[in-house]
Amino acid sequence: MARGAAERQQETSLYAAVKRHLEALGYQAKGEVCGCDIVAVREGEPPFLVITELKLGFTLELVLQAVDRMAAADEVWLAVPETRRGRDQDSRARKLCRLLGFGLLAVNLARDRVVVLVEPEPYRPRPNRPRRTRLLTEHRARRGDPALGGSTRQPIMTAYRQRALDCAVLLRDGPLRPRDLRAVAPDAAAILLRNVYGWFEHERRGVYRLGPAGLAAVAALAPPPLAEVAA
């Protein structure tokens, strides 16, 4: 049996439980109507139409199918087998369903039950003000656009790193006090004390110098020699 046919046969194992669930809610449910796995209707003026798509896992294909059904239905549900650690248990998948207005069902065949994970209703994420503030603060503090989006294998040029580099550039010429660096970094004292990148060393009380790691970081900022550029 071809893989697609085998998967389709297994998806039908979800049908009976989901059908019973919908009919318990007052719908008349029928399978494979105009390409939809389940179409359920509750009579009225106008009738209320629900489409449910069945899949063996929460996949992009399932979401795309649901998106395609939205224009024809009053509600769209996704139904997948219940798992312990699968996508049905992933809070991000549930948030996606809420964001799109889909319902999400988990079918436990062993216990012959259907669990409603997400109701199909409009959703707006609860504002995360601390995170929003961090994003706005970092965006405004960065000079220019120093980091390529999608970078994962190199240090990100944050606003903090920019200020630390500014301090390192000034310390390259010799030891200084934090107050001597405030023009480029108002929080210079904290930057030198925390020494996040290991660039700074104590020269004496209240005075800092640039260490080997700092010298290397500053050297990396320098443009390549003209000979290299010509090559």
Q: pLDDT tens, 28-62?
A: 888 888 888 889 898 887 888 888 999 988 989 99
Domain boundary among 70, 94, 118: 118
Interval 147-167: pLDDT, tens: 776 666 778 889 999 999 999
Residue 194 forms part of a structural domain: yes
pLDDT value of residue 150 = 64
Residue 130 forms part of a structural domain: no
Q: What total of structural domains would you count in the chain? A: 2
* 158 and 68 in a common domain: no
* 110 and 31 in a common domain: yes
* 83 and 32 in a common domain: yes
Task: Name the more confident of 199 and 73.
Answer: 199
Residues whose CB falls within 8 Å of the CB of residue 51, separated by 6 or more in sequence, listed in order? 36, 37, 38, 39, 40, 66, 69, 72, 73, 75, 76, 77
Residues paired with residue 53 on neighbouring β-strands, in sequence order: 78
* 172 and 110 in a common domain: no
* 20 and 90 in a common domain: yes
Task: Name the more confident of 136 and 20.
Answer: 20
- On the question of pLDDT at 7 being above 70, the answer is no
Whichever domain contains 81, its CATH number is: 3.40.1350
Contact 52, 18 (CB under 8 A): yes
- On the question of pLDDT at 229 being above 80, the answer is no
- How much is the mean pLDDT over the chain? 84
Residue 131 forms part of a structural domain: no
Residue 141 forms part of a structural domain: no
Residue 136 forms part of a structural domain: no
* 171 and 93 in a common domain: no
* 175 and 102 in a common domain: no
Residue 127 forms part of a structural domain: no
Confidence grade of residue 193 (pLDDT, cut at 50, 70, 90): very high
* 82 and 180 in a common domain: no
pLDDT value of residue 230 = 41
* 162 and 112 in a common domain: no
Residue 231 forms part of a structural domain: no
Whichever domain contains 182, its CATH number is: 1.10.10.10
Using DSSP, state whether 54 is helix, strand or coil: strand
**Where in the sequence is the domain holding 18, given as residue range(s)?**
3-118
* Mean pLDDT value of segment 111-118: 88
* 158 and 101 in a common domain: no
Residue 84 forms part of a structural domain: yes
Residues whose CB falls within 8 Å of the CB of residue 179, separated by 6 or more in sequence, listed in order? 188, 189
pLDDT value of residue 3 = 47
